[in-house]
Amino acid sequence: MKLRVGYELVYECPQPTPMMLMLNTHYSRVQDVLAADLLAVDPPVPITQYRDGFGNLCSRIVAPQGRISMSTTALLNISDQPETLEPFGQQHPVEELPDECLVFLLGSRYCETDLLADIAWRLFGKSPPGRDRVQAICDFVHRHITFGYHHARVTKTAWQAYQERTGVCRDFAHLAVTLCRAMNIPARYCTGYVSDVGLPPPQSPMDFAAWFEAYVGGCWQTFDPRNNAPRTGRVLMARGRDAVDVAISNTFGPTKLVKFDVRCAPE
């Protein structure tokens, strides 16, 4: 299946403003790319790029005063079947985890493991360890949080999402990540595109999505507490400790987002 992904973001800047952007598909999907998502900026400005410590492609610009548009489109050849489980799902003792996993056991800006550890062990301490435990966490988060865009705020943490029981996909992911880490399961936050292929109408307006990966069965496996069901057409853009590491834009000055369009649909 050919899947077209892309976006158009328009910002208003009252003054020249440095920006750091994370708006490209992840290099792990390179074998699927038929047409690459080259970042287009209008008015044109110099773009420099680098890879951060998590392997995400980051772009740097200085937006001029006034309006600036950022857009791209990519075409990927992906499976037309829903996601399937990896063959193994055992949980690994902390002392046997690869070094790269250890940072994803720790608390972070939006994932307060210290505040949720006792709750996690009370809720999931008797569940089978490994993938079954991660899925039990996803089932709980899916039931516990009521989705709604009007519940979103950029400062909401996993602890606050647990208390308020409302949020958007990033809040679902933050809470599940935190509960996994509290149970000694490495978990990392992911963002990207998720298509509506195979879903009945009506379908929600397209947006970037958040999910997470847990290290079980000797590999990183995908979990999605917001949808809590296999999806067709999931395209990773970036991953990190939490939303801080994968923000689509960081602006170093006052800006206003005035247009936000995302596309993820079969060609």
Domain range summary for the chain, segments of one domain joined by +: 2-80+248-266, 94-246
CA distance 169 to 147: 8
> What is the DSSP code string of 146-198?
EE-GGG--TT--HHHHHHH-EE-HHHHHHHHHHHHHHTT--EEEEEEEEEEET
pLDDT at 224: 98
Q: What is the reported pTM?
A: 0.96
CA dihedral 203, 209, 215, 218 (to 10 degrees): 60
pLDDT at 200: 84
Query: For each of the chain's 267 residues, which pLDDT tens digit applies?
Result: 999 999 999 999 999 999 999 999 999 999 999 999 999 999 999 999 999 999 999 999 999 999 999 999 999 999 999 999 999 999 999 999 999 999 999 999 999 999 999 999 999 999 999 999 999 999 999 999 999 999 999 999 999 999 999 999 999 999 999 999 999 999 999 999 999 998 887 677 789 999 999 999 999 999 999 999 999 999 999 999 999 999 999 999 999 999 999 999 999
pLDDT at 14: 97
One of 3.30.1360.120, 3.10.620.30, 3.40.640.10, 3.40.50.10420 is the CATH number of 94-246, namely: 3.10.620.30
Is 94-246 in the same CATH topology as 2-80+248-266? no
2-80+248-266: CATH topology: Immunoglobulin-like (2.60.40)
Cβ burial of 137 (10 Å; 0-12, 13-18, 19+) is: buried
Instruction: Give SS3 for 58.
Output: strand
pLDDT at 201: 78
CA distance 166 to 132: 25
pLDDT at 205: 78
pLDDT at 22: 96
